Amino acid sequence: MENSADVAVVGGGIVGLAHAYAALKKGARVVLFEREKFAVGASVRNFGLLWPIGQEPGRNLEIALKSREIWDEVAHESGLWLNPNGSLHLAYHADEKNVLEEFCSIYKDSPYRMKLLNAVEVKESIPSVKPTGLKAALWSQTESTVNPREAIRTIPIWLKEKYKLELRFGCPVHEITYPLVKSSTETWRVQKIIVCPGADFDTLYPELFRDAPITKCKLQMMKGTIAEPITPGPTLCAGLTLRHYAAFSKCKSLAAVDERYNQNSPEFEKYGIHVLLAQNNHGELIIGDSHEYGRTLEPFDRSEIDQHILKYLSTFYSVKNISITEHWHGIYPKLNGSTFMIERPEKNVVLVNGLGGAGMTLSFGLAHQIIGQEL
């Protein structure tokens, strides 16, 4: 028997959920297909950071800020935990302080809401930051934290209850021939199809991925607990993170930071390590990460990488006796040269992918734009 809806979304990660939400808000009847019984891809394996400070001013930052606005609305309506805790980039070396100062000067008129703090100001307000050698820090207000494991499970159920989203979990879509979407048990006739398959390049429209400048990135992560949980402050990171996000790439002073790390600690470059410390609503610490690239990636996690991450963490986080309770890795598609892949393989079918390490940050804003154009 054939079912019908206005929009079909393939993929129950954050990209698929964001498109379903945007379409439902426009009054569309939406069906969402997720291959697994519940989503287990990149969207549940991440830090849960909404991180506009990592996006360069221009289109990407605008999308990130719009996304944050929508996350606030979603959290408010659904009762999800969202902590508008901001972020702190800590500088322990003169060259890192130079980058923070240059960044503030280049982007003084941008929509970032940031402020350079001196070491005394940081020590007074955030006791978990290691005080020794701290030179300065960049405080930014725009970052927030969600608990991705809870958010990605709650949002679909909330959309079903509030907006009558038709949910099809445990239903891989194996064929799309517009206007038909076929899973192993059902066929749906729809007006629009949004395909958000994350790292699965092989099932739907594989020809789009074959020669595209896209690869996969594997990231190692850990969860830790501390004996006496402390009130979550801003998400913390330090000098290595300046090398990671595009936002800092315009700073000429970054070259000195790169050179120092490459000379003294080549393991960071080798494994693509930078270190973020997020804290969730249960007081747990989410710690990562590394970046290894390839279309096919080793399934085995290296304890050496975890050790490098924890060692670097100890240079800026003063809380001791973190007990690591979980290790895992996540994989996301990574585009070379752009932030997202939007393809229209046939009329009324849109494939959205390649949001890399910023899917939580960008998805709602991007979906708002795409659905705004399509419906």
Ligand X SMILES: Cc1cc2nc3c(=O)[nH]c(=O)nc-3n(C[C@H](O)[C@H](O)[C@H](O)COP(=O)(O)OP(=O)(O)OC[C@H]3O[C@@H](n4cnc5c(N)ncnc54)[C@H](O)[C@@H]3O)c2cc1C
Task: Give the CA-trace dihedral at 151, 154, 157, 161, to 10 degrees.
Answer: -100
Q: Does 20 bind ligand X (CB under 6 A)?
A: no
Q: How far apart are CA 199 and CA 218, in angstroms?
A: 11
Q: How far apart are CA 257 and CA 261, in angstroms?
A: 6
Q: Which is nearer to ligand X, 136 or 359 (CB)?
A: 359
Told to check if 156 binds ligand X by CB under 6 A, we report no
Is residue 194 within 8 A of residue 260, CB to CB? The reply is no
Nearer to ligand X, 39 or 63 (CB): 39
**Among residues 39, 117, 134, 190, the one that binds ligand X under rule CB under 6 A:** 39
Which position among 358, 366, 370, 371 is part of the footprint of ligand X (CB under 6 A)? 358
Is 181 a residue that touches ligand X (CB under 6 A)? Answer: no
Binds ligand X (CB under 6 A): choice among 20, 24, 30, 35 = 35
- Check residue 46 for interaction with ligand X (CB under 6 A): yes
Of residues 252 and 344, the one with the C-beta less far from ligand X: 344
Write the Ramachandran bin of 317: left for phi over 0, alpha for psi from -120 to 50, otherwise beta: beta
Asked if residue 87 binds ligand X (CB under 6 A), the reply is: no
Contact between 13 and ligand X by CB under 6 A: the answer reads yes
Would you count residue 122 as binding ligand X (CB under 6 A)? no
Selected from 42, 287, 309, 349, the binder of ligand X by CB under 6 A is 42
Nearer to ligand X, 24 or 219 (CB): 219
Closer residue to ligand X (CB): 18 or 119: 18
The binding track of 327-356 with respect to ligand X, each residue x by CB under 6 A or -, is: ---x-x----------------------xx
Residue 140 near residue 53, CB atoms below 8 Å: yes
- Among 90, 100, 122, 204, contact with ligand X (rule: CB under 6 A): 204
Instruction: Report 161-180 residues binding ligand X (CB under 6 A).
Output: 172-173
Closest distance between ligand X and the C-beta of residue 227, in Å?
26
209 near ligand X, rule: CB under 6 A: no
Question: Residues 278 to 317: which contact ligand X by CB under 6 A?
Answer: 288-289
Tell me if 224 contacts ligand X by CB under 6 A. Answer: no
Q: Is 32 in the site for ligand X (CB under 6 A)?
A: no
117 or 360: CB nearest ligand X: 360
30 binds ligand X, rule: CB under 6 A: no
Q: How many residues bind ligand X (CB under 6 A)?
A: 43
Contact letters for ligand X, residues 47-86 (x by CB under 6 A): xxx-x-----------------------------------
Using CA atoms, how far residue 80 sits from 120, 253, 318, in Å, is 35, 40, 30
Interaction of residue 36 with ligand X, rule CB under 6 A = yes
Give contact residues for ligand X (rule: CB under 6 A).
10-16, 33-36, 39, 41-43, 45-49, 51, 172-173, 196-200, 203-204, 219, 221, 288-289, 330, 332, 355-361
